[in-house]
Amino acid sequence: MKKKLVLFLCFMLVMPAALIGCDGEVGQIENLIVAQGSDADSLDPHATNDQPSSRVKKQIYETLITQDENMELQPGLAESWDQIDELTFEFKLKEGVKFHNGEELKASDVEFTLLRALDSAHVGHIVGAIDPEGIEVVDEYRIRISTVEPFAPLLAHLAHTATSILNEKAVTEGGEDYFRNPVGTGPYEFSNWEMGNEIELVRFEDYHGEPAHIPMITFRNIQEDGNRTIELETGEIHIAYDILPQDINRIESHENLTLLRDLNFSTVYLGFNCEKEPFDDVRVRQAINYAINVESIIDAVMEGSGEVATGPIGPEVWAANMDLDPYGYDVDKAKELLAEAGYEDGFSTTLWTNDNQLRQDIATIVEEQLLEVGIEIDIEVLEFGAYLEATADGEHDMFILGWVTVTGDPDYGLYSLFHSNEFGEAGNRTFYANERVDELLDKARRSAEPSVREEAYMEVQEIVREEAPWLFLNTGEDRTGLRSDIRGFVNHPAGHHALWTVYVEDEQ
């Protein structure tokens, strides 16, 4: 009877998702369940640059350099580095690092990774300053990387998940299926991917650093934002990313939950396809900026979470121009500009968004408000992967999307989005082009002088604000819900959060 009672109690304590162990300490978990709103698009760092994928890749791969929560550069796979001249850095790799397939990390893997990244249509812009002829393997553990011309943000770019170091043998053997069979050097290794549903990672026992606390992570794709909160409440998940603003009080008042809120590097915007009529006319773009009451959207949809954006990068990013005047809500001005552009009676168009509830809610309000100036909107909701592909191809009229200045450097938040060389997948999905903007962005990334860079970025933001390839919505914050016994989690402003440091309260 005693044995049966013990087994019964163990059974009652087990929650399928949490996998709480009866033979361990109270609260010990074998599987950390993390929920986000979209499945990964690819686990190949060179095949995509979206946030859901990067959050998973962060656990599997490592970069030469890392940036901590304060965006300070820290050693990663490179234990040290020295600047040889204005174009060249030499990196000394940590010795004895193993890939998940048992291969040892060598400088040749770094060379292979960077050359492959340079050829990528998805992330080539992130490493595009590197000279392919300037990558020199000095010996097994030392490599030199040169840029074509001076490139101030190089080290920050080498901390981006797109520069995660790959193993050449694993990539070659994986072939076209490598994106779903990734091999890195990180604290977790890939185990299984049920596409559209969940991704399982297991602790890498030969990891070169401090081992991960929890043996397994499962990333679950829970598209309905409210359902992430519900499953957090019931204990079916331990961490929920991107909590809805309307659920903030619900979580903060729950005795078994904790909410972490931190401003991040993201900006949400409504973009116009500047190559299509009528959005090739700046007056139309400006008119829509005047026609939309952004503050009402932020109040209604975001419930005060984040801040109203006045430009393309937010206050957390260095060199953000905080002196830009917001367009403000002025229906008469909007009608006047539309009439000047030849659209006195308005027009019909489409507004795309992905399967994200907040963006769909924003789209609904935009649809209602634009009717006041005669613009009829047809809202189309696409699956995230298809949405990224179609907007990269320029098939859209208007669209709602976000951008995270992952490196913390304004080059990343401006060059990819507004330089005419970056159309499509690289980031410029508005297909906006301005010669002066190109000139300033090129000048800023070539200069090592912060004041020169800042002056150029300030002017870029003024021009972008005036020419309005975007309707500026809001700068963002990370809202992460946790079970109250979860410890060791910190929001990273780039949105790629480390999970190997996570443990439960009574587990050391």
Residue type, position 59, single letter: Q
Q: What is the average pLDDT value for the chain, to the nearest integer?
A: 92
Q: Beta strands of 24-183 (E only): which ranges? A: 31-36, 65-67, 73-75, 78-83, 88-93, 130-139, 142-147
How many degrees, rounded to 5, is the angle at CA 120 between CA 118 and CA 121?
A: 125
10 lies in a domain?
no
Q: Are 398 and 279 in contact (CB under 8 A)?
A: yes
Does residue 191 share a domain with residue 114? no
Please name the helix (run of DSSP H) or strand (run of DSSP E) that holds residue 398, with its range, or none. strand 398-404
pLDDT digits (tens, 9 = 90+) for 433-442: 999 999 999 9
pLDDT at 121: 87
d(CA 259, CA 282): 41
47 lies in a domain?
no
Does residue 200 share a domain with residue 89? no
Report CA-CA distances (Å) from 384 to 50, 222, 352: 10, 13, 11
50 lies in a domain?
no
- Choose one of 130, 148, 171: the last residue of a domain: 171
1 lies in a domain?
no
Does residue 388 share a domain with residue 315? yes
Does residue 228 share a domain with residue 126? no
9 lies in a domain?
no
- Choose one of 171, 192, 220: the last residue of a domain: 171
Domain residue limits at 466: 265-476
How many degrees, rounded to 5, is the angle at CA 68 between CA 488 and CA 310?
A: 110
Does residue 409 share a domain with residue 278? yes
2 lies in a domain?
no
Does residue 390 share a domain with residue 316? yes
d(CA 133, CA 185): 26
Cis-peptide into 75, omega within 30 deg = no
8-state DSSP, 298: I
pLDDT digits (tens, 9 = 90+) for 202-219: 999 999 999 999 999 999
Residue 16 pLDDT > 70: no
Does residue 371 share a domain with residue 331? yes
Q: How crowded is the C-beta side of 165, counted as CA atoms within 13 Å?
A: 27
pLDDT digits (tens, 9 = 90+) for 162-217: 999 999 999 999 999 999 999 999 999 999 999 999 999 999 999 999 999 999 99
Does residue 469 share a domain with residue 414? yes
Q: How many domains does the chain have?
A: 3
Q: Are 22 and 210 in contact (CB under 8 A)?
A: no
459 lies in a domain?
yes
Please name the helix (run of DSSP H) or strand (run of DSSP E) that holds residue 378, with its range, or none. strand 375-382
Does residue 488 share a domain with residue 409? no
Residue 142 pLDDT > 60: yes
Report CA-CA distances (Å) from 194 to 34, 57, 355, 478: 15, 16, 19, 26
Does residue 304 share a domain with residue 435? yes
pLDDT at 507: 45
Q: Are 220 and 237 in contact (CB under 8 A)?
A: yes
pLDDT digits (tens, 9 = 90+) for 459-502: 999 999 999 999 999 998 999 999 999 999 999 998 899 999 99
7 lies in a domain?
no
Does residue 378 share a domain with residue 306? yes
> CATH no. for residue 84?
3.90.76.10
Does residue 306 share a domain with residue 382? yes
Q: Which residues contact 119 (CB under 8 A, 6 or more apart)?
A: 46
Average pLDDT estimate for 71-96: 96
